[in-house]
Every structure is written in C-alpha cells, then in structure tokens.
Amino acid sequence: MKQDVAFDSQGLKLSGCLYIPDNAPNGRLPAIVVSHPAAGVKEQTAGIYAHRLCEEGFVTLTFDCAYHSESEGSPRGLEDPAHRVEDIKNVVSFLPHNERVDQDHIGLLGIYASSGYAVTAAATDICVKAIATVSGVDLGSFFRKGYNGQQDPSIFKAQLENAARARTAAAAGAKMESFPVFPTEEATARQLGGYVYEGWEYYTTPRGFHPRSVKSMPWLSVDKLASFFGFGRPLLMVVGTRAETKWMAEEAPRQDTRDGLSVSDAGDGLRSCAAV
C-alpha cells in the first residue's frame, strides 16, 4: 500500500511516499528511509527501490528533499548538504509515529549523491540502526575532485568564484543564478560520455524522465558543498565496477576492513557492481 505523507524539516514542509507491505503480519515492521539522488525526485530511482524493498516486507519511505519537487524551499533545486542530512533525520523521527513501524529497526538507503548525506545522518542519529548505499557518491568530493578524483584544482576554484559572484548578485536583489545539471543536447552528452551521458539518458529520456526532476542547480549549492565530506564511517556500498565514481566508494572504508562481494548483471543502471 502506498500513501502520500508530509512532514516538517527545519521549518519546511516536505512531501513523501510511504509504502506498507500489503500482506505483512500484524504488528510493527522494520523500516527503511530511501533518499534520492541530487537530480532526482521520490518517484524515480528512490521510488523503485522503496517499492521493491516494500515487497520484501519493509515499511519504506521516500521523499523529496527540501528545495526539490513537491517539497518547500527556495531557491529551487538547491543542494544544501546540512539541510539534506536534517531532512533524512527528520524522516527517521517521523516514521515511529506510524503504527506499523518498529522504531528500533529503522535503516537508511542512500542512492548516488544522497549516499554521503545518509552516512552523515547515520553517524549523528542513534535511531538509525543500519545503512547501505547504491552507487554511493559524496557530492562534496565530486565537486572538489571531479567524478574520477583527478580533477584539476583550478576547475573547483572557478566554480567557487562563480558561486561567490552569484551570491553577491543575489545580495543586491538579483535572482540566484544556476548551472545545468546535464547537457540539453544528446550530441553533447554523447561527446562527454561516461556518467554524463548515462545521467542524461536516464533523466531526460522516457527511460526515467520526470517533469519535476532538477534540471539546473543554483550556484549557491557549490558554496555549501565546498567543505562537505560524507564518508566518515565504514558501511555497505554497492557500486558499478565500471562506474567512473567508483573511487569514492573504494576510498570511504579504507580505515576499516570489510569483506567484498561482486554481483554481476544486477539490473537497470547497475550493470555489474561490487559491494565493499
């Protein structure tokens, strides 16, 4: 059973979808909060995972983070890591009020860019009992070091300069400037290749397009992401073996030892993947 829900996060009303197993036994059930990627909305990848996990007997909840889709907040499309973390923690606080949720068994699933936020939320909220990520990305590292960890530092410096100019202009009353998340033209996306084309193909074609997904990101996002680092704890991470952002998942657990598991042909978007 799927139902629409709403809850407060730092003064903003957020929109969510709650999934409750249809044939589950009476009583309270373990729950999983599924957080969406930076460009996504609750109806895309997060919704797919939430629905599938619900079929396995979990109560699941996915939601639009602040500034995105059906949730409140301005400027639209802002990626604010501090608010993102609090959004997740506020969902965790909201869930136990449902009579089907076991508050002692609440976990998190972070997808792509929300992974760093989910890990940070788990590190600071003892109500979270488990965490996993899929194609985990720390968005702060992504901007600072690039998708492959080898970005020229001058690129991030230029991004910070653009963010500073946008903030200054906004302080004088101008609209906060934004930059496109993905190219508008297929030819450009194909030329750039890799994660750019795969992201473009998912978010802008019938395969995964949603009218409310983020098309551009305010420059203020770069300013807020500049010092964010989300991977400070060992955790389960699922990542494509050919993913260009694989280095982030490999780097995250180096301070602790964990077993590795490879899974081939895992399905849409994963291709072949490895959990570390």
Beta bridge partners of 168: none
Is the Cβ–Cβ distance between 84 and 65 less than 8 Å?
yes
At 246 the pLDDT is 82
User: Would you place residue 270 in the very low, low, confident or very high pLDDT band (cuts 50, 70, 90)?
Assistant: very low
Q: What is the pTM of this model?
A: 0.84
Domains of the chain by start residue, with CATH: 2-275 (3.40.50.1820)
Is the Cβ–Cβ distance between 103 and 136 less than 8 Å?
no
Mean pLDDT of the region 266-275? 41
Per-residue model confidence as pLDDT tens digits over 124-177: 999 999 999 999 899 999 999 998 899 999 999 999 999 999 999 999 999 999
Distance CA 61, CA 46 (A): 9
In this structure, what token pair is assigned to residue 51?
């629905």
Per-residue model confidence as pLDDT tens digits over 116-126: 999 999 999 99
Mean pLDDT of the region 202-225? 94
Is 45 a residue whose pLDDT tops 80? yes
In this structure, what token pair is assigned to residue 69?
């889709």
Coil, strand, or helix at residue 199? helix
Amino acid symbol at 46: A
What are the distances in angstroms from CA 13 to CA 42, 55, 79, 124, 210?
A: 15, 28, 16, 22, 21
Per-residue model confidence as pLDDT tens digits over 237-255: 777 888 888 887 777 666 4
User: Would you place residue 259 in the very low, low, confident or very high pLDDT band (cuts 50, 70, 90)?
Assistant: low
